Structure 1
Amino acid sequence: MIIGIDDTDSNEGMCTTYLGALLLEELQAFGTVETPPILVRLNPTIPYKTRGNAAVALKLRTDCPEKVMGHVINRIRELARLECEKTNPGAVFIPEEACERLKPVLLAFMEEAVRDVIEIERAKALISELGIPAKGLKNGRGLIGALAACGAMLNLEKWDHTFEYLAYRQQENWGTPRFVDKESLFEADRETYPETWDTVDLANGLVVCVPHSADPVLFGIRGKSPKTVTRAASMVRAEPAARFAVYRTNQGTDMHLLPAANLAEIRDMHSYRAEGTVSAAPKTIQGGHVIFSLRDRKGNEIDCAAFEPTKNFRALVRKLMPGDRIALSGSVMSRTLNIEKIEIKALAPLYTEENPKCPECGKHMKSAGQGQGFRCKKCGTAAPSKVRCETERSLVPGFYEVPPCARRHLAKPLVREGCQDCKVHPAR
């Protein structure tokens, strides 16, 4: 059977992936748990998410499905932060005999949950229509993610994936400051990059893979294979971990992005790839955010932002000029696109005015006095005014991204792009 779980955490603690790791151990008593488990990140713009909007799925071969369902539901009741208004757990159980029948339906549902906005009633209606055993607590919003995670587990060959090694704290340490040796994380990054990524942020001198909230996660290492993330994790010096799990995940895949044929079709709470021309020069507003306008060929415009948490990425954005042709990836809220990646396709020419050159000796002429033009004292040649010259831009076409400290879970790091015919500038 396939077990999907979502929405057990809160901003104050707990983590659905922790429950998944715990069940990986406990469900061995009921049968054989196949690995790796699945971690699916859903639409990152959903306003009622708790933290990372993650759901998990496990695959279990068992002869006692009723006992398994009872155990999972009891564990959710015990560990979910039900006191939090935004915590509304859901669990879904796909019997083995129904897996093939439900594969295409739940694949479509998973893709929609990552890219679109799904109402709770839609998930409940689908569960009822398909006859899927499920349990929702409180308003049951977690049923959406639970169904999506099951769709991912049933269709492993249909989506791009990466892996994450998650180490979890001993329960008595939850809510206290973590001990993870910073230098060991930088060492692990040096040894395993580019097979792993987003462990640290070299440019900003920051650790990225250690959370700051009171949840059970000690650290998480992201990479291209279970072997690589496990190797990197073995180099980390930290407080003793209670357990760990290696998840197969849609993190770092850009699964959330929709193609935007034009800017008029862009909607809030969705994420896009959009192309156009810079129509207004970037400006820095209060808080250090950098904003500019993008215009498509039909004249539609949208504001685009490199917010303060993107740190040094803002310096790149400030170099853009009206007329630059670019393609952006990012999520949209309040009709503003929050930039995750940028491809600079073509640069507008930059012109400056300078004193004319003498046609005889090639040196720049000097002013002959106010309103009297320019003159070469050596050759006696003259010119009436300054000349307009094209100047080299301090920017080159190519792909750029926000630094690791600002990267969203789903955003595909440029180190994974493998582009052969273009200039890629991975953020380190």
Structure 2
Amino acid sequence: MIIGIDDTDSNEGMCTTYLGALLLEELQAFGEVEKPPLLVRLNPTIPHKTRGNAAVALRLETCCPEKVMDHVISRIEEFARFECEKTNPGAVFIQENEGKRLKPVLRAFLEKAVRDVITIEEAKNLILELEIPSKSFKNGRGLIGALAACGAMLNREDWDHTYEHLAYRQREKWGTPRSVEKESLEEADRQTYPETWDTLDHANSLVVCVPHSPDPVLFGIRGKSPETVTKAASLVRAEPTERFAVYRTNQGTDMHILPVESVEEIRDMHSYRVEGTVSATPETIHGGHVIFSLRDKAGAELDCAAFEPTKNFRELVRELLPGDRVVLFGSVNSRTLNIEKIEIKELALLYTEENPKCPTCGKHMKSTGQGQGFRCRKCRTQAPSKVSCEMERTLEPGLYEVPPCARRHLAKPLVREKRSDYRIFPSR
């Protein structure tokens, strides 16, 4: 049996991954639970999301599916933050013998949930059409993520993945300040980077893996394998934990990115890879955001932004000039692309005028008066006017990314890139 759960949390507390970790332990009373469970991040631009737009899926062998369903529903009823307007839980249950029939259609549903916009009615109609057992609360928006998570579990070998070790606080500590020793996080990072990432943001002196919201998560270590995230977590010194879980996840995979050829194809609430030419000098606006325009081959333009939370990444964006050819990765809202990564493919040539050099001694000549040309005082050589010289750019072609403190869950960190055709500049 595969179980998908979504939308039990709120901005004020709870976390669907905590419920998944709890069920991972409790469902062993009903059969053998497969590890690792799945944590699936959905479209990051959806306005209805609470925090990270994550759904959870578990798989178990059981001879009493009805009891499993009753237990899962009772736990949702106990832990979901129903008082929050945005919290609309959903659970989906798929029998193993139905997997082959449902696998292709739910794979398509998963991809749409990560890259596109799905309505509640679409999810409910598909559940009815496929005759899938489910349970929804309030408006049932959680059915979207629950169904997508089941699609991820049915197709778990078909998509890129990473892992996250999530440690959870003792329940009496929820909502209070967290106690995690920064020095131990630094040691964990030293011993496991680049096999793990986004534990710390060195450039901005920030801890990234410890959340600030009043949810049950104490810290989360992300990395390429269960072994590396577990090793890093074992080095962390912190307050006592209630439990932990290692999730297989689509975090850090760029699964949300859609390639497009034209700016005209771009729509709000989607994420894209788009190539073009910088058409206006980046401008810093109120709030510290840096904005510029990108022009595609057909001449259509798109506003692009490095928002204030991207911190030092904005300095790189400010160095762009009209004529630079770039590829941008990011999410679009209000017809503005929020940059997650930038590939600088070709830099525009920048020229300035300077006094000519003496062909004999190599020193710059001096002006002999307005409109009278230039002369070398030592060699007495002359030149009629200034000369145009190419200026050196501080930027280099290559791949750049926002710092860890500003990274989206789904954005693929450059430490995972295996390209050899461009220089890669991972952000630390």
TM-score in terms of structure 2 length = 0.99
What is the match of residue 157 of structure 1?
Answer: 157
What is the match of residue 70 of structure 2?
Answer: 70
Amino acid at match of 1:326: V
What is the match of residue 222 of structure 2?
Answer: 222
What is the match of residue 395 of structure 2?
Answer: 395
1:370 deviates by 3.0
Task: For residue 299 of structure 2, give the secondary structure of its aligned residue in structure 1.
Answer: coil
What is the match of residue 9 of structure 1?
Answer: 9
What is the match of residue 342 of structure 1?
Answer: 342
- Whole-angstrom distance in 2 between the partners of 1:376 and 1:97: 90
What pairs up with 1:128-207 in 2 under 5 angstroms? 128-207=128-207
- Whole-angstrom distance in 2 between the partners of 1:52 and 1:257: 17
1:205 deviates by 1.1
- Whole-angstrom distance in 2 between the partners of 1:385 and 1:266: 49
Given the alignment of the two structures, is residue 266 of structure 1 paired with residue 257 of structure 2, yes or no? Answer: no
Q: What is the CA deviation profile of residues 317-347 of structure 1, one whole-angstrom value per residue up to 9, with x for unaligned ones?
A: 1111111111010000110100001110011
Amino acid at match of 1:261: E
Q: How much identity, in percent, do the aligned residues show?
A: 79
- Whole-angstrom distance in 2 between the partners of 1:378 and 1:160: 67
Q: What is the CA deviation profile of residues 272-295 of structure 1, one whole-angstrom value per residue up to 9, with x for unaligned ones?
A: 000001110111111111111100
What is the match of residue 91 of structure 1?
Answer: 91
Q: What is the CA deviation profile of residues 198-222 of structure 1, one whole-angstrom value per residue up to 9, with x for unaligned ones?
A: 0001111110000000000000000
- Whole-angstrom distance in 2 between the partners of 1:101 and 1:115: 23
What is the match of residue 310 of structure 1?
Answer: 310
CA RMSD of aligned residues (A): 0.8
Given the alignment of the two structures, is residue 250 of structure 1 paired with residue 250 of structure 2, yes or no? Answer: yes
- Whole-angstrom distance in 1 between the partners of 2:157 and 2:79: 32
Q: What is the CA deviation profile of residues 41-71 of structure 1, one whole-angstrom value per residue up to 9, with x for unaligned ones?
A: 0000000100000000000111111111111
1:96 deviates by 1.5
- Whole-angstrom distance in 2 between the partners of 1:214 and 1:305: 30
- Whole-angstrom distance in 2 between the partners of 1:371 and 1:286: 44
Stretches of structure 1 that go unaligned for 5 or more consecutive residues are none
- Whole-angstrom distance in 2 between the partners of 1:235 and 1:386: 63
1:305 deviates by 0.6
- Whole-angstrom distance in 2 between the partners of 1:361 and 1:5: 77
- Whole-angstrom distance in 1 between the partners of 2:43 and 2:256: 6
1:175 deviates by 0.3
Amino acid at match of 1:8: T
1:382 deviates by 2.4
Task: For residue 36 of structure 1, give the secondary structure of its aligned residue in structure 2.
Answer: coil
Amino acid at match of 2:307: F
- Whole-angstrom distance in 1 between the partners of 2:376 and 2:227: 71
Given the alignment of the two structures, is residue 375 of structure 1 paired with residue 395 of structure 2, yes or no? Answer: no
- Whole-angstrom distance in 2 between the partners of 1:201 and 1:370: 54
Q: Report how many residues are paired.
A: 428
Task: For residue 283 of structure 2, give the secondary structure of its aligned residue in structure 1.
Answer: strand
What is the match of residue 42 of structure 1?
Answer: 42
1:353 deviates by 1.2
- Whole-angstrom distance in 1 between the partners of 2:156 and 2:108: 13
- Whole-angstrom distance in 2 between the partners of 1:218 and 1:362: 65
Amino acid at match of 2:8: T
What is the match of residue 291 of structure 1?
Answer: 291
1:361 deviates by 2.6
- Whole-angstrom distance in 2 between the partners of 1:72 and 1:88: 15
- Whole-angstrom distance in 2 between the partners of 1:322 and 1:47: 33
What is the match of residue 418 of structure 1?
Answer: 418
- Whole-angstrom distance in 2 between the partners of 1:386 and 1:190: 53
What is the match of residue 405 of structure 1?
Answer: 405
Amino acid at match of 1:38: L
Amino acid at match of 1:411: A
Amino acid at match of 2:292: F
- Whole-angstrom distance in 2 between the partners of 1:361 and 1:198: 54
- Whole-angstrom distance in 2 between the partners of 1:150 and 1:91: 10
Given the alignment of the two structures, is residue 107 of structure 1 paired with residue 107 of structure 2, yes or no? Answer: yes
Amino acid at match of 2:44: P
What is the match of residue 240 of structure 1?
Answer: 240
Amino acid at match of 2:425: H
1:421 deviates by 2.5
Q: What is the CA deviation profile of residues 351-407 of structure 1, one whole-angstrom value per residue up to 9, with x for unaligned ones?
A: 111111123332111111233332212222322322110011111101000010000
1:173 deviates by 0.2
TM-score in terms of structure 1 length = 0.99
Runs of 4+ in 1 over 4 A off after TM superposition: none
Given the alignment of the two structures, is residue 61 of structure 1 paired with residue 71 of structure 2, yes or no? Answer: no
Amino acid at match of 1:418: K
What is the match of residue 275 of structure 1?
Answer: 275
What is the match of residue 327 of structure 2?
Answer: 327
- Whole-angstrom distance in 1 between the partners of 2:361 and 2:103: 78
Q: What is the CA deviation profile of residues 158-177 of structure 1, one whole-angstrom value per residue up to 9, with x for unaligned ones?
A: 10000000000000000000
- Whole-angstrom distance in 2 between the partners of 1:377 and 1:227: 71
